Amino acid sequence: MNSFFRRLPRLDLSAASFKSLLYLVAITSVMLMILFTRDDSLARDTESIVSYLTSYTNIPNAVTSVILVTRLFDTIGEVTVFTIAGLGVKILLHEEDSEEQFVGIDDPVVCLLLDFAALLSCFLAIDLALKGHLTPGGGFASGVAGATSITLLMVTGRLQKVENFYFKANAPAFEKFAVACFIIVALATFCSFLYPSSIFSSLPPTIYIPALNIIAALKVTIGSWSILRLFVIKRGVL
């Protein structure tokens, strides 16, 4: 019996291990309390809230109204975080050497299918940006579709053409312009809430919500494009 206990591994109860164990117990306790504790007084009439929001904004898509009206401050934070992520990728990969040779898909049938998929993604991005306040979609979904379209073009061996268009169209400047416009329009929206007598209070949601969708789509598309092209050029990742 004594030899059995001697073979058991010793527990390292150092200060760091004890602190980690304490954090784990505390987090587990909080999660269990949230899971098994229910306060009926916090229940909300979701249907009436959605109805009020839809009538206030006059926008059929209630999700867009939540993202760009009641939670607009959070959306500004998301745009800011995405911008910082792009800057972080640029800083980290700036000192790396660029790849000398890139290999894309050269099968004509596959290239034709990917070209068709890129065209569909482009039209989908435009549709999601312009109709995001009417149907499911919005600026972020549109940006993902737009970046997918550009990525498909790079995969089919058109990297150099995409790169030339990136700098010829001055895409980085457009991205900065989109971020500035999004923040300005969002601040104007906040002013209309805080100061009902201001000039911005006359701006209806049917104007600034579609505008924010289009600006967010432009920002996410170019931002994703900038991040993807850096990984392709610096590390040859396709």
Residue 194 lies in a domain: yes
Residue 49 lies in a domain: no
Domain enclosing residue 158, as ranges = 60-235
- For 147, left (φ over 0), alpha (ψ -120 to 50), or beta? alpha
Residue 46 lies in a domain: no
Residue 37 lies in a domain: no
**Is this prediction's pTM over 0.75?**
no
Distance CA 89, CA 217 (A): 20
Per-residue pLDDT of the chain (238 residues; tens, 9 = 90+): 555 445 545 545 566 677 777 878 888 888 887 777 665 555 566 777 777 777 777 888 888 888 887 788 888 888 888 888 888 888 888 777 777 667 677 778 888 888 899 999 999 999 998 888 888 888 889 999 999 999 888 888 778 888 888 888 888 888 889 888 888 888 887 777 667 666 666 777 778 888 888 998 999 999 999 888 888 887 776 6
Number of domains in the chain: 1
Core vs surface per residue 90-116: b (16+ CB within 10 A) or e: eeeeeeeeeeeeeeeeeeeeebeebee
Residue 39 lies in a domain: no
Distance CA 14, CA 105 (A): 55
Backbone angles phi, psi at 98, to 5 degrees: -80, 150
Backbone angles phi, psi at 18, to 5 degrees: -65, -40
Residue 24 lies in a domain: no
